[in-house]
Structure 1
Amino acid sequence: MKPIESRDSGHQGETNKPLLFAIAGLLAGSSVTGILVTNVVQAQQVHRGLPYSVSQVMPHRRGMMMGQQADRHFITMMIPHHEGAVKMADLALKLSKRPEIRKLAESIKRDQTREIDQMRAWYKQWYGTNVPPLSCDRRYGNDRGN
């Protein structure tokens, strides 16, 4: 019995590329979400293990320190996430024939680019420096500083 072949078997890999890129993008987004959740859980565990609460030692600084670190981390992690969405939108604009997908991709590209610019401006204003590049260690939740 002869195996079933597609009509255009020579281009099968090409037609699967958008699907592969989309899956890779979803996995990357899921990884970022997993890292953020893991870091929050780890931070809660560290504070539970202390013999005293941070608010007892520095009641006026607890919210500021936790908030600033969370804000920095959020911006540092969200920018690459948004950049990935913009790249996926570019791919959809290049390959999609459906007007609904093209309209959504244009909206995503416009909005996410604006949000990236806004986050970079906030970071510069609040911390006096540009958003640091995301190193491999930071990407996987191993940033123990900042």
Structure 2
Amino acid sequence: MLIAGSATAQQSPPASQGPTTAPAGGPDMDASQGMKPGQGMHHAGTRARNMAKDPASRAYMQSMRTMNQDMRGKPMTGDADRDFAQMMAPHHQGAIDMARVELQYGKDPDLKAMAQKLIDDQSKEIRQLQDWLKQHPAKPTDGR
């Protein structure tokens, strides 16, 4: 069920639009960051107006905004390994933040257990990614 929402958000555009690259920061990206034409501020504003104003929804949205901001703050280096480690840490932190919202507001015991497991597992993975980054310092580039 949770995976289906992600899959829907990442579906390919209709064939008439041709291939596109999904924005690295997620669905809230603007045109300068990879958003398709017509999905600018108006689209985001409509979604915000239609979104429930309950505390859990606001907390989920804030966690996604923070994650997207943190991911956009990591410059791409051209080193696939380094870029992966740098991007996955804030991605995992976003998942942890969302899992904490589930623990605070959720009612289903199975989902709450899954949320706690996610926090435990992804906290460990963040530490592993950070350790890898420390053990593999960025290589200086020419001209910088």
TM-score, structure 1 length as denominator? 0.47
TM-score, normalised on structure 2?
Answer: 0.47
Which structure is richer in relative contact order (CA contacts within 8 A, separation 6 or more)?
A: 1
**Larger C-alpha radius of gyration, 1 or 2?**
1
